[in-house]
Amino acid sequence: MLLFGCISRYLLSFRLRNTLSKSVIISSPNELIEFDNNKSIEIQSVDKLTDNTALLTYKPKEEFIIEHDTSNIVISLWTTSAARIRLLKAMQKVAGRFDCNLLYGDTDSILFSYPKNMECPLQTGPHLGDLAREYAGSEIKEYVGGACKALIYVNKPSKLNCNICKLIFAHHKIIFFSSNRII
């Protein structure tokens, strides 16, 4: 049986995510000109919604990033490092057992296998910083890992789940799980 554990709850509170794209609905050419003349932002797309409205997507240019009131670099660094240390300890616990296999790990999750007749070697919980079973009650039958955050797996009963599947499909690759071939 496979478990996908995650400490991402630990990381969500104080992340510094000020460079994410923002969207606004505009209804006049003057608004579009105003955004276009703003040197602190980079327009990513303008999509027509109706004859009179458009969805404008933009992000701040890096030299003009303005911190928001809830960001705190010290708290962010501490929570990120504490979460990674806890995840490392979980990975070491799994890798140290002869009957478990660590299949995948990144900054906020691990994927590992253990025998069906054995209890899961890691404890889960509902609290901040606890491990959580991402797919409780399901069994992962097949798994392909391409890179960090690029994995595909099949749950029982035959349910394909993709995490960054576009990475593989962007290169026109087709994965056949039953034959373990990538074409």
Summarised one tens digit per residue, pLDDT across range 128-180 is 778 887 766 677 777 777 666 666 777 766 555 554 333 334 344 444 444 44
| In the chain, domain spans | 2-13+72-182, 22-64
C-alpha pair distances (Å), 25 with each of 39, 45, 52: 19, 12, 10
Rg, C-alpha atoms of the chain: 22
Summarised one tens digit per residue, pLDDT across range 88-109 is 998 999 888 888 888 888 777 8
Nearest to 56 by CA among 31, 82, 26: 26
Contact 100, 114 (CB under 8 A): yes
Would you place residue 50 in the very low, low, confident or very high pLDDT band (cuts 50, 70, 90)? Answer: confident
- What values do phi and psi take at 117, rounded to 5? -80, 5
Report how far residue 48's alpha carbon sits from residue 23's, in angstroms, rounded to the nearest whole number: 13
Cis peptide before 121 (omega within 30 of 0): no
pTM: 0.51
DSSP 156: E
